[in-house]
């Protein structure tokens, strides 16, 4: 406790870090307040049916990503997911389309152009999703709950539909702007922090609902609830191991003599992460799995049939098989675009380094690529397993809300973003020659979602 208090004092002493933390908290507060601002013309007292619809299933996941704004018919109802979807499309185009490949190689100017294209695409995606959300909203709420400027209206007016679509698009763009401001003026990755805050906001309600459900059982309810908490903590530990796990490659540096000084001649290690992609594969896969429910207008999954019904039941077998497969594929894809063995081999060669027993240059790049392929496979399988954990625990009677925190996107995002943010805070402390957050002074994080401009 004494060390923790001293760390808080050290953080307060660093003006830049203090201002960044205050800015971050301020932007997050704006985001949370906005999630309770209901669309103009909607009666907030009659949202119970919409909130009941988003208690479980795929709409429950959408509601979790928006921090409850979806079920509140908020101006931020669609949250940041349209921006995530746009970023996925642009990154995929960067692999397949020469124009985007050229932009990626143009440095800062190319990055700005890509960010601009991503924003335009976000507007288009949100513009397509907003009418579907309004359509679902009008079916879930009684006619008297939607009567803007006309108490006698029995159905939504054209003005209400158009204005609500514009507000929803503007809300998503504002959330995107908040995320970018956090990245620039705050601490941590803004988009990831907003998603994490929305998820954490649902956690107390999920725990309370699970506690009530277990207490209503006859005999052993409290014991089962405590056992669930123990399992949850165990899964959190596994997620931390997944985020921080590395494989170290030894690199020997040749001796060099410059003047009267000798350089090199030491052995160092390159840490290769078991999960270099972080939570991005899950976020990518989850965004794709949201497509069916979006195409059918956010309809109740119980009323769907065929393929739409299969891919709208996130507890279903085929949903989770496809979900896990996409995660594995995206893990390899995102690792390939974030880890460049050729560049690593070239940098080692320029600095007089080599891997013992491996020739510098092309052979070193091939060696690193083989190592990455081997460690990525178990990392991707474990990532997929953690992602489908909510579907597994739901088979044992865990409520839908609480089951979402037994792995899946929610838990990995929380673990990864917290570690990333703490790592940035620790870097500020160590640069100012203060003690870090841990005794070792090292927190292994990873860049959560490097998609903001």
Q: Read out DSSP for 258-297?
A: ETTEEE---EEEEEEETTTTTTHHHHHHHHHHTHHHHHTT
- Residue pLDDT, tens place only, 340-395: 888 888 887 877 777 887 888 888 888 888 888 888 888 888 888 888 888 888 77
Question: Cα separation of 101 and 177, whole Å?
Answer: 25
**What pLDDT sits at residue 450?**
45
Q: Roughly what angle, to the nearest 10 degrees, separates helices 15-34 and 408-431? A: 160
Q: Tell me, which fold does domain 23-186 have in CATH?
A: Preprotein translocase SecY subunit (1.10.3370)
Q: Are 118 and 87 in contact (CB under 8 A)?
A: yes
Band (159; pLDDT cuts 50, 70, 90): confident
Radius of gyration of the chain from its Cα atoms, rounded to whole angstroms = 24
**What pLDDT sits at residue 377?**
85
Question: Cα separation of 80 and 416, whole Å?
Answer: 18
**What pLDDT sits at residue 403?**
77
Q: What average pLDDT does the segment 220-227 reach? A: 81
Which residue(s) pair with 273 in the sheet?
A: 246
Say whether 188-453 and 23-186 share the same fold. yes
Q: Is the pLDDT of residue 54 over 60?
A: yes
Q: Are 197 and 175 in contact (CB under 8 A)?
A: no
- Residue pLDDT, tens place only, 81-104: 888 888 888 887 887 788 888 888
- Residue pLDDT, tens place only, 390-421: 888 877 777 767 777 776 667 777 777 888 78
Q: What share of the chain is helix, strand, coil (3-state, %, to 5)?
A: 65, 5, 25
Q: Is the pLDDT of residue 448 over 50?
A: no
Q: Are 104 and 94 in contact (CB under 8 A)?
A: yes
Q: Is the pLDDT of residue 173 over 90?
A: yes
Question: Cα separation of 225 and 402, whole Å?
Answer: 11
Mean pLDDT estimate for the chain: 78
Q: Domain residues of the chain, as ranges?
A: 23-186, 188-453
Q: What average pLDDT does the segment 199-227 reach? A: 80
Question: Cα separation of 19 and 424, whole Å?
Answer: 14
Residues 6+ apart with CB under 8 A from 292: 307, 308, 311, 312
Question: Cα separation of 78 and 293, whole Å?
Answer: 13
**What pLDDT sits at residue 168?**
92
Phi, psi dihedral angles at 261 (to 5 degrees): -110, 145
**What pLDDT sits at residue 366?**
87
Q: Is the pLDDT of residue 163 over 60?
A: yes
- Residue pLDDT, tens place only, 312-344: 677 778 888 888 898 888 888 888 877 788 888
**What pLDDT sits at residue 453?**
42
Residues 6+ apart with CB under 8 A from 437: 7, 422, 425, 426, 429, 443
Question: Cα separation of 265 and 254, whole Å?
Answer: 5
Q: Which of 52-66, 297-311, 342-356, 378-392 has the lowest mean pLDDT?
A: 297-311
Paired tokens of 389: 């954990």
Question: Cα separation of 48 and 46, whole Å?
Answer: 6
Identify the CATH assignment for 188-453 out of 1.10.150.20, 1.10.3370.10, 2.40.37.10, 3.65.10.10: 1.10.3370.10
Cβ-in-10-Å burial (0-12, 13-18, 19+) of 115 comes to: middle
**What pLDDT sits at residue 296?**
63
Q: Are 385 and 266 in contact (CB under 8 A)?
A: no
Question: Cα separation of 423 and 448, whole Å?
Answer: 12
- Residue pLDDT, tens place only, 233-268: 887 887 777 767 777 777 766 665 555 555 555 667
* More confident site: 344 or 149: 344
Question: Cα separation of 243 and 230, whole Å?
Answer: 20
Q: What average pLDDT does the segment 152-173 reach? A: 81
Question: Cα separation of 120 and 263, whole Å?
Answer: 51
Q: Are 69 and 77 in contact (CB under 8 A)?
A: yes
- Residue pLDDT, tens place only, 101-112: 888 888 788 888
């Amino acid at each position: 406790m004494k060390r923790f208090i001293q760390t808080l004092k050290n953080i307060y002493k660093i003006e830049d870090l203090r201002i960044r933390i205050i800015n971050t908290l301020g932007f997050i507060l704006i985001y949370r307040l906005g999630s309770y601002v209901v669309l103009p013309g909607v009666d907030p007292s009659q949202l119970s049916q919409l909130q009941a619809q988003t208690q479980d299933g795929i709409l429950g996941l959408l509601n979790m990503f928006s921090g409850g704004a979806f079920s509140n018919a908020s101006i931020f109802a669609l949250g940041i997911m349209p921006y995530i979807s746009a970023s996925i499309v642009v990154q995929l185009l960067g692999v397949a389309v020469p124009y985007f490949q050229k932009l990626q190689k143009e440095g800062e100017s190319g990055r700005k152009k890509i960010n601009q294209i991503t924003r335009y695409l976000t507007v288009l995606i949100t513009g397509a999703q907003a009418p579907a959300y309004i359509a679902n909203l009008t079916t879930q709420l009684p006619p008297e709950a939607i009567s803007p400027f006309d108490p006698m209206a029995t159905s939504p007016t054209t003005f209400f539909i158009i204005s609500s679509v514009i507000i929803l698009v503007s809300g998503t763009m504002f959330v995107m702007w908040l995320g970018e401001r956090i990245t620039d003026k705050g601490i941590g990755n803004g988009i990831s922090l907003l998603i994490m805050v929305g998820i954490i906001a649902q956690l107390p309600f999920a725990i309370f609902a699970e506690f009530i459900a277990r207490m209503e059982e006859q005999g052993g309810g409290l014991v089962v609830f405590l056992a669930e908490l123990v399992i949850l903590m165990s899964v959190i530990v596994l997620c931390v191991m997944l985020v921080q796990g590395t494989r170290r490659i030894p690199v020997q540096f040749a001796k060099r003599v410059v003047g009267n000084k000798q350089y090199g001649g030491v052995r160092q290690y390159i840490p290769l992460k078991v999960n270099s992609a972080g939570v991005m594969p899950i976020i990518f896969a989850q965004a794709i799995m949201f497509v069916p429910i979006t195409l059918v207008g956010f309809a109740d999954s119980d009323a769907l049939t065929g393929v739409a019904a299969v891919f709208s039941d996130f507890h279903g077998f085929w949903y989770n098989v496809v979900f896990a497969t996409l995660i594995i594929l995206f893990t390899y894809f995102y690792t390939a675009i974030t880890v460049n063995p050729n560049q690593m081999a070239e940098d080692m060669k320029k600095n007089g380094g080599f891997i013992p027993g491996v020739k510098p240059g092309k052979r070193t790049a091939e060696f690193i690529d083989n190592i990455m392929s081997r460690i990525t496979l178990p990392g991707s399988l474990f990532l997929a397993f953690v992602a489908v954990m909510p579907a597994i625990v739901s088979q044992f009677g865990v409520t839908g809300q609480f089951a979402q925190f037994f792995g899946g996107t929610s838990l990995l995002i929380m673990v990864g973003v917290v570690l990333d943010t703490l790592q940035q805070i620790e870097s500020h402390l160590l640069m100012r020659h203060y003690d870090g957050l841990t005794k070792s002074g090292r927190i292994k994080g990873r860049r959560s979602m490097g998609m903001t401009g």
